Structure 1
Amino acid sequence: MGLSEFFWNLGAWNWFVVAVALFALEAMVPGVHFVWFGAAAVIVGIVGISVDIAWEWQLIAFAIISCITVFLARRYASPDVSLSDEPDLNARALQYVGRVVLVEQAIADGRGKVRVGDTVWNAQGSDAPQGARVRVTGTNGNCLVVEHAVN
């Protein structure tokens, strides 16, 4: 008995073999790509065992269910959709918006440096002398946007 005959005799159980292979690929390849196809293979395997349908229809069902799982994952499991208790965690500069800081290097022609704690940041805003107090109003990449702080 050859390998192809072995798999042919498995019937709908082949979908579980495909699912295991896809889940193994998911574990080896960075990102979340194969898990949704693996889930579709499991669903088709369950349907194939429950209802005796031709392998052609199983392939069509796999394609349709794969598309559905991928689109649902993109819509509901997207990092843009998930809420975080620390939304600015990876946008460090945004954490300083609203804070009053000292000008480390005079802001001239709209550019200078400010000290935030023990770190010096590039800053842009209206001209201010060294030692002046400015308020961070926003960011431009990794540059803090500042304005004169009102005492």
Structure 2
Amino acid sequence: MPDWLTSMGPHWAWLSLGVLLAAAEIVAPGFFLIWLGGAAIATGAIAWIAPISIPLQLGIFAVLSFIFLYGARRWLKANPITTTDPHLNQRGGRLVGEVLTVTRAIEDGRGRARVGDGEWPVRGPDVAEGTKVRVVSADGGVLVVEAA
């Protein structure tokens, strides 16, 4: 084994592990690995300041991981992450309240309406082609409408 590798302390392994876990959080976000990475970095800092045995370092890492995860969970429960746009990836939900023009008459509860430069399937009361309808909800890819 090279001399430079054997002369490195175990704290470098902890610091490297912490950085790798933080990077893994970027690749596979789940808001979980970042806390384990923080615990690994904290363990590396402790091992750097006060050289301790490997089993004790593993114990410190386990305890810090639990503390970081539990603390983050409590903090997130008290301060939930809210979005400013709850319908960001729900195109149908964004259309609620819009007034559309029926392009294919709604018969037996089904028809089509113009949305922008396209058409969407709609469900609602029977109306003739060209009638204005208001979107009241979205059911998957089908807009639920009522007469406007």
CA distance, structure 2, for counterparts of residue 106 and residue 11 of structure 1: 73
Structure 1 residues 1-150: aligned runs within 5 Å: 6=6, 10-26=9-25, 29-32=27-30, 34-70=33-69, 72=72, 76=76, 81-149=80-148
- Of 86-95 and 135-144, the range deviating more from structure 2: 86-95
Instruction: Give the aligned residue type for 2:94.
Output: Q
Work out whether residues 107 and 127 of structure 2, in 8 Å CA contact, stay in contact via their aligned partners in 1: yes
Please state how far the C-alpha of 1:97 moved relative to its aligned partner.
Answer: 0.7
Alpha carbons of 1:144 and 1:61: their partners in 2 closer, same or farther (altered >3 Å)? same
TM-score by length of 1: 0.74
CA distance, structure 1, for counterparts of residue 2 and residue 74 of structure 2: 40
TM-score by length of 2: 0.75
Please state how far the C-alpha of 1:30 moved relative to its aligned partner.
Answer: 3.8
SS at match of 2:39: helix
Alpha carbons of 1:124 and 1:64: their partners in 2 closer, same or farther (altered >3 Å)? farther
Work out whether residues 22 and 37 of structure 2, in 8 Å CA contact, stay in contact via their aligned partners in 1: yes
CA distance, structure 1, for counterparts of residue 84 and residue 58 of structure 2: 42
SS at match of 2:144: strand
CA distance, structure 2, for counterparts of residue 113 and residue 66 of structure 1: 54
Give unpaired runs (5+ residues) of structure 1: none
Instruction: Give the aligned residue type for 2:144.
Output: V
SS at match of 2:9: helix
Alpha carbons of 1:96 and 1:37: their partners in 2 closer, same or farther (altered >3 Å)? same
CA distance, structure 2, for counterparts of residue 121 and residue 75 of structure 1: 42
